[in-house]
Amino acid sequence: MRKVFSSNEFSETALVRDALVHQGVEVTVQNEHSGRSAVPGFRPPAEIWVTRDDAYESARRIAIDTISTLDSKADSKPWACMSCGEENPQSFEMCWSCGLDKGAVSDNEPSQRQPPD
């Protein structure tokens, strides 16, 4: 086993874990619940370990690509939902408020609205 990623932000760890699993890489997460530490100020980072050493290089590349994608989208301008107008972070693929897909056309879009009678 080799450690491929660690972070104090469990959301990052979960995203990297999910990306690795999606690519068929077997992983183990250590310190997964460290955010609930009973000792104030002591919070070891959550770590992702690959179970097979021969998967380390590809797993490391997936982890780096995943975090790079997050970082690049974090600084991007938010997008507005075509249905409800709510602003969403660039990394969201669907509206957090109404659930409409990012690229979907809404019935509420001006070009789709019916003129009043």
The DSSP string of 70-91 is HHHHHTSPPEE-TTT--EE-TT
Instruction: Give residue-wise pLDDT tens across range 57-78.
Output: 999 999 999 888 776 666 678 8
Residues 24 and 59 both lie in one domain: yes
Q: Which domain holds residue 9?
A: 2-74
The SS3 assignment for 27 reads strand
Rounded CA gap, 77 and 96, in Å?
16
Residues 91 and 102 both lie in one domain: yes
Where is average pLDDT lowest: 50-54, 82-86, 106-110? 106-110
The answer as to whether 117 is a domain residue is: no
Q: Is the pTM of this model over 0.95?
A: no
* Mean pLDDT on 18-40: 84
The answer as to whether 114 is a domain residue is: no
Residue 112 has pLDDT above 70, yes or no: no
* pLDDT tier at 33, thresholds 50, 70, 90: confident
